[in-house]
Amino acid sequence: MSEFVTLAALAGEEEICTRCPLYRNATQAVPGEGPRGARVMLVGEQPGDVEDLSGRPFVGPAGRLLDKALAKVHLPREECFVTNAVKHFKFEPRGKRRLHKKPDAGEIDACRWWLEQERGLVGPGLIVAMGVTAIRGVLGRSEPVSRLRGRLIDLDEKAKFLATIHPSFLLRLQEEEDKRREWTRFLGDLEIAAEWTRAGDGLVSNG
Ligand code: URA
């Protein structure tokens, strides 16, 4: 259930959120994007520099990599609801650049309310958390990716949960061998989500 009737109304409220201090320096809130009734909800960490300026999630370098991975496993992004655990960009100014800063537990927990509202409106049967911030946002507690990744977990009576790495982890790897191995593992995790959508699970969207 959500307190909002439409995703547009929800996005409008997210835009004026003051639940944590991050709204002060960000350009705008970046709401989740995708169809209401999407069966899969993909959750990232927070908007990056490009997303903060454009107002759309996962449209920068990490987003391009995510798009490539989703295409590889035949899980169309347009059919997923793509969002972030934290809706405002957290950064540190360094000259003309804005350096990404990880949101802290208080910020993730403050923003969790919005994630729950999005979930209530979209009604996904599977929530994919990419990285530790997303895991905390979805579960409400911190867990390492390594403990949970790669298998479907019952979140509650309405949805399953799948944890994987954040795509920006792949962008930070230096060694070709590491890149290849982790890319393959990431695709393997997303393949579980794609397979779940193909198999169907009998869950009806509550969006
Ligand atoms: N990283 C995220 O976690 N989310 C975005 O929207 C972009 C980069």
pLDDT confidence of residue 161: 98
Distance 85 CA to ligand 1 centre (A): 9
Task: Give the chain's domain count.
Answer: 1
Q: For 28-62, how does the pLDDT look when each residue is reduced to its tens digit (9 = 90+)?
A: 999 999 999 999 999 999 999 999 999 999 999 99
Distance 172 CA to ligand 1 centre (A): 14
Q: Is the CB of 131 under 6 A from ligand 1?
A: no
Among residues 39, 37, 119, 121, the alpha carbon closest in space to that of 84 is found at 119
C-beta of residue 53 within 8 angstroms of C-beta of residue 29: no
Q: Which domain holds residue 102?
A: 14-198
Query: pLDDT at residue 203 above 60?
Result: no
> Would 19 be classed as within a structural domain?
yes
pLDDT confidence of residue 200: 75
Alpha carbon distance 190, 81 (integer Å)? 14
> Would 5 be classed as within a structural domain?
no
Q: For 124-183, how does the pLDDT look when each residue is reduced to its tens digit (9 = 90+)?
A: 999 999 999 999 999 999 999 999 999 999 999 999 999 999 999 999 999 999 999 999
> Would 162 be classed as within a structural domain?
yes
pLDDT confidence of residue 170: 98
Residue 204's pLDDT band, with cuts at 50, 70 and 90, is very low
Percent of residues, the chain, with pLDDT higher than 90? 96
pLDDT confidence of residue 206: 43
Mean pLDDT of 97-116: 98
Distance 201 CA to ligand 1 centre (A): 28
| Burial of 69: CB neighbours in 10 Å, binned 0-12, 13-18, 19+ | buried
pLDDT confidence of residue 153: 98
> Would 134 be classed as within a structural domain?
yes
pLDDT confidence of residue 131: 98
> Would 6 be classed as within a structural domain?
no
> Would 205 be classed as within a structural domain?
no
CATH code of the domain containing 19: 3.40.470.10
Atom index in ligand 1 nearest the CA of residue 130 equals 3
C-beta of residue 96 within 8 angstroms of C-beta of residue 130: no
> Would 36 be classed as within a structural domain?
yes
Mean pLDDT of 183-204: 88
Q: Is the CB of 62 under 6 A from ligand 1?
A: yes
Taking all residues of the chain, what is their mean pLDDT, rounded to a whole number?
96
Residue 60 has a CB neighbour count (10 Å cut-off) of: 18
Distance 141 CA to ligand 1 centre (A): 20
Q: Is the CB of 57 under 6 A from ligand 1?
A: yes
Query: pLDDT at residue 201 above 80?
Result: no
Helical packing angle, 7-15 and 105-122, nearest 10°: 160
pLDDT confidence of residue 205: 45
> Would 1 be classed as within a structural domain?
no
